[in-house]
A = this chain, B = another copy of it.
Amino acid sequence: VTAAPPPAPAPTVVEVDVVLLTLAPGQGDGPPVPQVRLVAPAGRWQGDAEGLPGMALPPDLDLDATAVAVLAQVGVPEPRHLEQLASFGAPGRVPGTRAVSVAYLALVPAPHRDATARGRWVDLADVGPLALDHADVLAAGVARVRSKLSYSTVAYGLLPDRFTMTELQAVYEALLGVALDKRNFRRKVAALGLLADTGAQRRGPHRPARLYTFATPSLVLLDDVIAAP
Residues of A in contact, count (CB < 8 Å): 47
CB distance from A95 to the nearest CB of B (A): 13
- Partner of A52 from B1, B14, B42, B55 at Cβ < 8 Å: B1
- Chain B residues within 8 Å of A36, by CB: none
CB distance from A155 to the nearest CB of B (A): 19
Within A40-99, the residues touching B (CB, 8 Å) are: 41-45, 51-63, 73, 84, 86-91, 97-98
Q: Are A89 and B10 in contact, with the CB atoms below 8 A?
A: no
State in angstroms the CA–CA spacing of A7 and B42 once bound together.
Answer: 13
- Chain B residues within 8 Å of A53, by CB: 1
* A178 interface hit (Cβ, 8 Å): no
CB distance from A125 to the nearest CB of B (A): 22
Residue of B nearest to A3 (CB): B42
* A12 interface hit (Cβ, 8 Å): yes
Q: Are B1 and A39 in contact, with the CB atoms below 8 A?
A: yes
* Number of copies of this protein chain within its complex: 2
- Chain B residues within 8 Å of A1, by CB: 17, 39, 41-45, 51-55, 131
- Chain B residues within 8 Å of A4, by CB: 43
CB distance from A136 to the nearest CB of B (A): 12
Q: Are B89 and A2 in contact, with the CB atoms below 8 A?
A: no
* A11 interface hit (Cβ, 8 Å): yes
Residue of B nearest to A98 (CB): B59
Residue positions of A touching B, CB distance < 8 A:
1-7, 9-14, 17, 39, 41-45, 51-63, 73, 84, 86-91, 97-98, 100, 102, 118, 131
